[in-house]
Structure 1
Amino acid sequence: MELSLPYQLGKYLLTEEIGHGGFSYVYKAKCENYKIDFVAKILKIKEKSSVDHVFNAEVSALTSLNHPNIIRLYDTFVQDDLFVMILEYCPNGCLMDELKKVKAFNYDEFVYYGRQIVDALTYCHSKNIAHRDIKLQNILIDAYGRPKLADFGISMKMENENLAETFNGSLSYTAPEILCKKAYDPFMADVWSLGVTFAIMATGTNPWIGAGETHELKRSIMIGTYQLSKTVNSKIASLIRQMLNIDPKQRILMHKIKNSPVFKMCLPGFNTFSGKTPEFDALSISGRRYSKQFPEHSNNNTSRPEEDQIKLISIYRKNILNGFTTSKRIVPRLTCSRVPTYI
């Protein structure tokens, strides 16, 4: 299903195809009411019968979630036999694209991306939503370098501690209990998938690199024989091992990941003021490098930065959080109210 561009869908003008998958086509879209770009995710209605659960799951999940590190849903409608979702546009690709630029993330980069991903997934689980397809390709990077958890097409809302029985995610990220074809806890399966994601982030390679054939890959996953370079930071390596425990009952929980030594530490450049400041945690990697040019200080240090430097950092911090924009701001159409920022 390809559209002749430019193509008008309601108030949205589709200008460029971004990609397509088995279920949908994705286009860059402009809206005459706002000076920002959107993404239009489109499914043809006559094809809807077999895959409507994918869009229903994504719409249901995104209308229940409001978090700075989760992709936003702004609108849904039907026109010209097309089912349309209007989503937040992330111009910098996905986390895999960022990883390819450096081969493997250093400690600061790993913590910067990892902590925000953990915050997003912890928030999902607090809403009883399991993502079920965590991987680098489903973590998008917005215009300010912030990771955004996306693609909730096979997500699942869990009630009353029920177990899941189906799975359609990527094999390399699949938890061993799923391969046993038994009912499983999708939240603990998310932890496993995130562990594989972290392993790739830290090493730049798939931890199952020795398993070429599908049956070899499945065997490696089920017995937990993965490869982790000795050059990986010891704290990160320890966390990954706890996440890739083949016994889901022994696997580390999300709240413990969030409070692990890896993510509890104060990142370089965040001690410019008194201790750890949540606002500075929102800075991108380039923003942290920018903040490092100012001298460190404490209340007991007579060498303090000039007032204009403090003012400049404050302005930079505020702009990061506000998105560097003076354009008309909009709230997701299907979201009832704002929630506090999770950092």
Structure 2
Amino acid sequence: MDSNGVTELEDLCVQENLSPLDENVDGHFAGVCQHKDASLISINFSVNPMHLETGELMFCLWVSQDLNQSSLTSFTLDIPSSSNDDSMGISDSQVNTSSSLGGGKTAEVIEESYPPCKAFDDNYQNLRTVGHGAFGFVVESLEQSTKLEVIVKYILRSKVLSENWRDDPVLGRIPLEVSLLSHISHPNIVQVLNVFFNKEYVLMVMEKHGSGMDLFEFIEHKPVMDEGLYSYIFRQLVSAIAYLHRSGIVHRDIKDENIIVNEHFHIKLIDFGSAAYMKPGEMFATFCGTVEYCSPEVLMGNWYDGPELEVWSMGVTLYTLVYGENPFFTVDDILACNFKPPFPVSDYLTNLLSWMLLPEPSDRITVEELETDGWVFQPVDMTQYSWQEVMSSSDGPTIPEYEVVYDEPSLYEDSLRLNCIHTMPSVPSPSNRCKSRLHFRSY
């Protein structure tokens, strides 16, 4: 967007009696910008503030044209609570447009009355709205015959780009997200149970996993964990992403908010609104996801293949799980891959995180290597962990010192049933990562 557009955006904030852009503006919005030919264009945009080392405040602004709105006279700008989700996963982000923008319903109206869909309404009862975003909203519902709680994603048809529709032999014309999830099956990926349609929305009915707690909420509870439990949770993410890549799919929005965990520490990857198929010889140029999970090469606007971005995002997710905070606090930190862990962990884990968060994509560990990594698939006795004990308050991390005997599991199910062994002193590793990374070994 040119300077005229930015000026118009700030002017409109003032016209609507809103504060100028400051560090508290963070989320997704709808508005207008002024083109250089003086015409007004309806847009959707995401704002994310970043503090530079110089002390300056820089705003990252991603803008896309709202093709549904051809002309504008007024608009409403609703500033949501802090969220960076550019899709419609379960979050607190919210996008509102006034009725002058073509008569669309606001998020408040949607939450009070759900769009009718007879085939769906005959079988399900909506209980409450649990999330909303630029492309629709998410509802917790009850399957009336079985009393099974499910999650229903209402996808606004008008917000799905033309290239993101697919012709399905059974379901007909459906959004790419629905098509992807309807044709894949993995124990750590959310499962689609049914699909319904009305004039405005595509309704995707999905399983509800546990209580619906995502990994962000889980981490916020400051769980009492050790590296065995970290690895148990992380290996499931590795398994899910490896499966997607073998299926020719990249998720492109891996983060703690898109991982649901239940009371058995089993996880499910959700929100495939940014997912895409990989094609041989073709690269991606579009930024998707959240800035804090974005790799430096993508942040700089470079083209990317996909898997290398996923490894970076997985590294940020693992770091956040272990340390309870994001590894990067500024854009400069991300570009320099500058992170300072707040406390020590095992050399193995430190080495793994360093390998995943390297600035050069070709130097990073691959998903295939993660599948055979000794720390990721270390022996873990899950009978030693209870949800109640893990979720009790903790004064600090559990720092392990151990050596494990590692036998690579032949099946995914085997990796979840490995037995623990007695702890032994850790094997020291060099402080700087060398090309041949230290792995767990069989003795």
Query: What TM-score, normalized to structure 1?
Result: 0.72
The CA distance in 2 between the partners of 1:260 and 1:97, in whole Å, is 27
- Cα deviations by residue, 1:25-79 (Å, 9 ceiling, x for unpaired): 111111234331111111344x435598498232132123200000111222212
> Given the superposition, is the C-alpha separation of residues 227 and 51 from structure 1 closer, same or farther in structure 2, using an over 3 Å criterion?
farther
Q: Is the 8 A contact 1:103 1:204 kept in 2?
A: no
- 2:252 aligns to what? 132
Q: Per residue, is there more helix in 1 or in 2?
A: 1
Bigger Cα displacement from structure 2, 121-130 vs 135-144: 135-144
Aligned pair partner of 2:381 in 268, 273, 284: 268
Identity across matched positions, percent: 25
Residue type at the aligned position of 1:29: S
Unaligned runs of 5+ in 2: 1-106, 166-173, 385-406, 423-443
The CA distance in 2 between the partners of 1:270 and 1:279, in whole Å, is 16
SS at match of 1:102: coil
SS at match of 2:238: helix
1:48 aligns with 2:159: yes
1:31 aligns with 2:150: no
- Cα deviations by residue, 1:68-94 (Å, 9 ceiling, x for unpaired): 000111222212632211111122410
Aligned pair partner of 1:13 in 95, 102, 125: 125
5 Å matches for 1:1-343? 1=107, 2-4=110-112, 9=117, 10=120, 11-45=123-157, 47-48=158-159, 53=164, 56-79=175-198, 81-90=200-209, 91-102=211-222, 105-142=225-262, 144-209=264-329, 211=330, 217=331, 219-268=332-381, 281-282=415-416
How far does residue 145 in structure 1 lie from its aligned partner after superposition?
A: 3.3
SS at match of 2:335: helix
SS at match of 1:249: helix
Q: Is the 8 A contact 2:126 2:141 kept in 1?
A: yes
SS at match of 1:133: coil
The CA distance in 2 between the partners of 1:221 and 1:26, in whole Å, is 32
The CA distance in 2 between the partners of 1:124 and 1:181, in whole Å, is 24
How far does residue 3 in structure 1 lie from its aligned partner after superposition?
A: 4.2
The CA distance in 2 between the partners of 1:193 and 1:17, in whole Å, is 28
Bigger Cα displacement from structure 2, 157-166 vs 48-57: 48-57
Q: Is the 8 A contact 2:160 2:175 kept in 1?
A: no
Bigger Cα displacement from structure 2, 183-192 vs 31-40: 31-40
How far does residue 279 in structure 1 lie from its aligned partner after superposition?
A: 5.2
- Cα deviations by residue, 1:152-190 (Å, 9 ceiling, x for unpaired): 101110121421111121000001110221211211100
Q: Per residue, is there more strand in 1 or in 2?
A: 2
How far does residue 4 in structure 1 lie from its aligned partner after superposition?
A: 3.4
Query: What TM-score, normalized to structure 2?
Result: 0.57
> Given the superposition, is the C-alpha separation of residues 282 and 7 from structure 1 closer, same or farther in structure 2, using an over 3 Å criterion?
farther
SS at match of 1:37: strand
Unaligned runs of 5+ in 1: 212-216, 297-343
Residue type at the aligned position of 2:249: I
The CA distance in 2 between the partners of 1:51 and 1:237, in whole Å, is 44
Provide the aligned length of Structure 1 versus Structure 2.
277
Q: Is the 8 A contact 1:135 1:193 kept in 2?
A: yes
Residue type at the aligned position of 1:108: G
In the TM superposition, structure 1's runs of 4+ consecutive aligned residues that sit over 3 Å from their partners are: 3-9, 49-55, 142-145, 268-271, 275-283
SS at match of 1:263: coil
